[in-house]
Each structure stands twice: as C-alpha cells, then as structure tokens.
Amino acid sequence: MKKPISLWQFAGFAFTSFAGTLLHFLYNWSNQSIFAAPFSGVNESTWEHMKLLFFPMLIFALVESRFLKKEFSNFWCVKFIGITVGLLWIPVLFYTYNGAFGSSPDFVNIAVFFISAAFSYWLETKLLQKDFPACNSSVKPITALLFIAVLFVLFTFATPEIPLFQDPETMLYGIQ
C-alpha cells in the first residue's frame, strides 16, 4: 500500500513558502553576494519570482525522493509536472491580473507566489495518488529539471532583455 503523501506535500508547500520568502531577500541580505544571486531574487522581475518557487520545490523534491520514490514509480515525472505548472502559473496569474487591472499591489504579487505553490503541491498530490502519468524512467524529468536550474543560473548573469526578465521598479534587467 502506498504511503499517504498529503502530509509530505503539505510540508513541501510550507518549506517552499518559507524558503521562497527567504530567498526573496537573501541577495540583498548578503550584500548582493554573487554566490546568493543564482538562487535568490536579484530584482523584482517575474522571472526572479519564478526562481523563488523553483529552487525550494526542487530541494524539497530531492529530500522527499529519498522517502517516496521507491513507492511511487511516477515520482520524478509528477515532480517535473508540478514544478513546471507552478512556474507557468506565476506569469499567467501575474500578467492576467496586471492586464485586467493595470498594475498589482504587493499583496497580490505575494498571493500569486503562494497560490502557485499551493496549486503545484495539490496537483502533485492528485497525480501521485492516481499513479499518473506512467513514468518509465526518471532520467528525462530529472534532466529537464536540471536544465531549468541551469537556465535560472545562466539568466541571472546573462539576462535576456524581454519583459519577463525586466524589473518593473527599475526597468532594468538582471543583476543591477
């Protein structure tokens, strides 16, 4: 019988919420350390807020996998889907709200992060409980997650000049 995962997923949401909040401030708290930059928010762009969700979810998935992956053959496929959906929800919610209302107060931006994290963990819970999708190998989802991690690090230092990466406060890109 499969282990109940709801408690694990709730712990993941709590960890992601706490760690993501800390990572939002880490870069400035560390006096703009180049070592903190790849994993923390270096500005207020949507991309940097996506990073705040990605790394805590990935770290928690690594911890969680030590206890659950043997029992859930679809573990890494589900984690890939959950993390990707969370990453997509941040810009979708942010730009939808801003498109409808013209701007968003800070509490809405904060809510977008928590809603995205909550939805991701809820989705993962449902997929793990249903043993969906069928997952033949963990190599592809882990490789894809590592590729996303590389993109977050790379784009911290070599930032594309498109709106997703633009700090709405300074109108600059990347590390400032």
Query: What average pLDDT does this structure show over 64-76?
Result: 90
Pair 69, 8: CB distance under 8 Å: no
What pLDDT band is residue 1 in, cutting at 50, 70 and 90? very low
Contacts of 62 (CB under 8 A, 6+ apart): none
Mean pLDDT of 147-174: 95
Q: What is the mean pLDDT of residues 124-129?
A: 93
- Mean pLDDT to the nearest integer, 24-36: 96
Q: Backbone phi, then psi, for 155, in 5-degree steps?
A: -75, -10
Identity at 122, one-letter amino acid code: W
- Is residue 166 over pLDDT 60? yes
Single-letter residue type at 75: F
SS3 of residue 173 by DSSP: strand
Contact 72, 141 (CB under 8 A): no
The mean pLDDT value for 26-30 works out to: 96
Rounded CA separation 126/141 (Å): 18
| Kind and range of the H or E run holding 19 | helix 6-29
What is the C-alpha separation between 50 and 147, in angstroms, rounded? 15
Sign of CA dihedral 69, 72, 77, 80: negative
Read off the pLDDT of residues 82-118 as tens digits, 9 standing for 90 and up: 999 999 999 999 999 988 888 888 888 899 999 999 9
Rounded to whole angstroms, how far apart are CA atoms 28 and 40?
9
The tokens for 2 are 């499969």
Average pLDDT over the chain reads 93
Is pLDDT at 130 greater than 90 in this prediction?
A: no
Kindly state the tokens that stand for 46. 């949507």
Q: Whose CA is closest to 138, among 81, 84, 87, 89?
A: 81
Distance CA 59, CA 128 (A): 18
Q: Are 153 and 38 in contact (CB under 8 A)?
A: yes
